[in-house]
Amino acid sequence: MKRLSLPAVAAIAAFGLLGCADENPVAPESAPSFVPQASVSVDAASLDRHLVLFNGRGVPESFAADVAGLGGSVVYSHASGIAFVSGLSEPAAADLAKRSGVAEVMADEAVELLPVNGVQVEAADATPASPATPSLAFFYPRQWHLRAVGANQAWAAGRRGSSAVTVAILDTGIDYLLPDLVGRVDLSRSASFVPNDDLLVQANFPGRHPVTDLHYHGTHVAATVTSNALVAAGVTSGVTLIGVKVLGANGSSFAGSVIAGVLFAVDNGADVINMSLGGGFSKAGNGRSVGFINRVFNEANREEVTVVVAAGNESADLNRNGNTFKSYCDAPNVICVSATGPTSRASLIGPWANIDAFAAYSNFGSAIGVAAPGGNTGGSVIAGCAKTSLTFRICATGNFVLNSNGTSMASPHVAALAALLVEDGLKPSQIRARIRQSADDLGAPGTDPYYGSGRINIPQALGL
């Protein structure tokens, strides 16, 4: 399981990937040469980044000049009254905080992830299939998680997703040339908020878009939302994706990158945002930090964007967080997703036992909106492996999938359902309500801390 190794966090949320693995890694046998991943590290010079919160909406006209006069530059600013700056010393940041219209200036925090415990990599002898027939995907017979939520029933009814609906994947990027994702990613609306990673992309894959996934996590999440269904099927096969890279090849970045990524997705036409990442920070003395996050997620809701977030993999009771703000389940107007999965299987293609069992690693509590398949001891979530991954370099040599467990894998199932409901004309509040009302009630009757309103049921949500 991935866990965060965090520096002291005094302000905004610490975060990282929420994927959790259940198998031993397959040793790479033959793979192309890459610039070493070790060259990707948190640049100490980048730690002079600051987040700025203004009084009310808008950014003062003199702000960029004020920052430049103090020796810094504006990295990103947004009409909601938020900006990110770099190059300021602490005294300069303190001076900026005194300027007219500025409510708060906070140091942006860097985070690191502990090493991956293991993800199973498997090759496919894939033959061309069609997005119109996802059940023909090579690995579909093993994708218990798609049948668990009734995705196959939606396909049979012609509900495979619309290219007019956009899901933003806030993650490590997307391998947009992966066969399962070719044509699904709108690069004109995709972006990277991890400058160090951009350099590494160009060193290893000259000419590729900065959103290229050098990790693997973002591609796996993206291909769960939608897939061309050559190697593995996704919940949909017609939805448009935009990649918003907020975490780098080593799983590191800044909290400000995540916030900027949310606002970018909102401004670039995302209907749904998936956030398979998270962390937490102390509320004590950080009331403005909570307000900062709340402002961002309220902005998304105001612009009619549905946000789906992973609950986390610490087996933690979110009701006993004490003074901790759980990002991003504690943010307003989000769907917080816990994980389920089978406890055993008779063979690789089933049958699977206790397919809706609550996953022991999943966080739980009253913040949980619904549950979805994330994998368990009897089966993992299967989706494509990025050919650009510096973690699993063998994936560059053919068509591979990753078997992975985690609430990171559960969240994109819900994001895909939200996309189908956008197609039906529902607004975010209606989507949140429909997903909960149509879920299969599991665990204790009614809403409970493990499943929330229940495990999602796609055909029921779509009225099929």
In this prediction, residue 115 carries a pLDDT of 34
* Residue that wins the pLDDT comparison between 79 and 1: 79
21-30, 56-65, 298-307, 435-444: range with lowest mean pLDDT: 21-30
% of the chain with per-residue pLDDT over 70: 85
Q: Which of 50, 145, 215, 217 is catalytic?
A: 217
Q: Which of 408, 411, 438, 453 is catalytic?
A: 408
Bridge partner list, 326: 280
Indicate the fold that domain 4-35+115-461 takes in CATH.
Answer: Rossmann fold (3.40.50)
Residue 288 has pLDDT above 90, yes or no: no
Global pTM reads 0.89
Neighbours of 217 (CB within 10 A): 32
77-81, 106-110, 171-175, 266-270: range with lowest mean pLDDT: 106-110
Residue 324 has pLDDT above 90, yes or no: no
Bridge partner list, 120: 403
Residue 251 has pLDDT above 50, yes or no: yes
Residue 273's closest CA among 262, 288, 283?
262
What is the average pLDDT across 395-415?
95
**How many angstroms separate the CA atoms of 126 and 387, rounded?**
15
In this prediction, residue 181 carries a pLDDT of 97
In this prediction, residue 120 carries a pLDDT of 84
What is the average pLDDT across 205-219?
96
> Helix 287-302 crosses helix 255-267 at what angle (to 10 degrees)?
20
28-32, 55-59, 64-68, 324-328: range with lowest mean pLDDT: 28-32
Structure tokens at 174: 């997307």
For CA atoms 285, 290, 292, 295, the dihedral sign is negative
Residue 454 has pLDDT above 80, yes or no: yes
Where helices occur in 160-216 by DSSP H, the ranges are: 195-204
Residue 46 has pLDDT above 60, yes or no: no
What is the average pLDDT across 295-324?
90
What is the average pLDDT across 111-116?
41
Q: Domain spans of the chain?
A: 4-35+115-461, 50-107
In this prediction, residue 320 carries a pLDDT of 85
Residue 447 has pLDDT above 80, yes or no: yes
Q: Which of 171, 180, 213, 448 is catalytic?
A: 171
105-109, 194-198, 259-263: range with lowest mean pLDDT: 105-109
Structure tokens at 307: 């946000």
CB neighbour list of residue 367: distance below 8 Å, 6 or more residues apart: 311, 318, 319, 326, 329, 330, 336
In this prediction, residue 282 carries a pLDDT of 61
In this prediction, residue 452 carries a pLDDT of 98
180 given a catalytic annotation: no
171 given a catalytic annotation: yes
111-125, 382-396, 420-434, 450-464: range with lowest mean pLDDT: 111-125
408 given a catalytic annotation: yes
108-122, 166-180, 306-320: range with lowest mean pLDDT: 108-122
- Band (392; pLDDT cuts 50, 70, 90): very high
Residue 25 has pLDDT above 50, yes or no: no
In this prediction, residue 31 carries a pLDDT of 38
Q: How far is CA 412 from CA 19, 104, 134, 416, in A?
A: 12, 34, 17, 6
What is the average pLDDT across 324-349?
92
- Band (129; pLDDT cuts 50, 70, 90): low
- Band (255; pLDDT cuts 50, 70, 90): confident
Residue 136's closest CA among 228, 218, 54?
228
Cβ contact 161:237 at 8 Å: yes
Residue 78 has pLDDT above 60, yes or no: yes
- Band (256; pLDDT cuts 50, 70, 90): confident
**Tens-place pLDDT, residues 3-16:** 222 222 222 333 45
